[in-house]
Chain A
Amino acid sequence: MSSYAPSSPLLPWPDLEVYDCNRAKFTEEQLKPYDGQWVAFSSDGSRLIAGAFDLLELDRLVQQAGLQMEDVWLESILFPGTQMQPSYFPE
């Protein structure tokens, strides 16, 4: 092993089985408005916190909802025929 030291403690992850079970309950009709967007789901997958076409805007919306990006899972929503929008490097 190397001399690498993690920058923060290694903490247990949220239960992904719970997340997947709840996340799977979202219907295509519920997700369709977020087509082509990055979406933040709550840690347990039960709530869709926000969606945006780029991660900077999503970060803002998640904070507006009283959360941090560390509190959510990120996923892109893509229906057939849709592509994500190109991103960019802010100056």
Chain B
Amino acid sequence: MIRFSYQVEKPSNPSSQLVPVGKPGRLRPLLPIRLFGPTGRFHRYRPAVADTGSVDSLFPSLAATVLRVNLQTTTSQSTNWRGSQFPLRWGRVEMELSSATEIYRWSAVVGFTSAPLPYPLLGLAGFFEFFDATFRGADHQLELTPVHTFPGTIQAVP
């Protein structure tokens, strides 16, 4: 099991009604994640947001370019972001999470979009399909346990 404390979103958004008393900003389940392309190049995002409302896991389109991800041929698919439609293409990547004791790496098909995402979105496909998730609201923590069919590698940190 891997546990993440919610992170303060900075700079804070004053319009949020969820800023806890005494905290400098809104707490969200923001995770660090590595995204690997087929050449071994990777990006380290801190943060990506654990978003159970997103059907897919989404990354900025130019991440695919930098990491040389082989995108599936152009389709008419799009993603809706804040009321506007943006092109969406798919590519196979590897993703990696880590705690102090374990590293998880798996292969997944994720979406790349030209939508102006402020964070990568870790959604149902590509992410939550591989983990049992417990959002511990009172403790501001997200616990992730790989499902028994986890299609990747788990390695202890030396």
Contact = CB atoms under 8 A, between A and B. Distances in A.
Given A59-B66, A80-B13, A87 B115 contact: yes
A31 interface: yes
B36 A7 contact: yes
Nearest to B81: A86
**Interface on chain A toward B: helix, strand, loop, or mixed SS?**
loop
Interface residues on A, range: 35 or more
B1 interface: no
Contacts of A87: 60-62, 113-117
B96 interface: yes
A1 B154 CA distance: 10
A55 B62 CA distance: 6
30 contacts: A1-B150, A1-B152, A1-B153, A2-B151, A4-B151, A5-B153, A6-B105, A7-B36, A7-B40, A10-B96, A10-B105, A16-B32, A31-B11, A54-B62, A55-B60, A59-B66, A69-B41, A69-B42, A69-B44, A70-B44, A73-B44, A74-B45, A80-B12, A80-B13, A80-B14, A85-B116, A87-B60, A89-B71, A89-B87, A90-B62
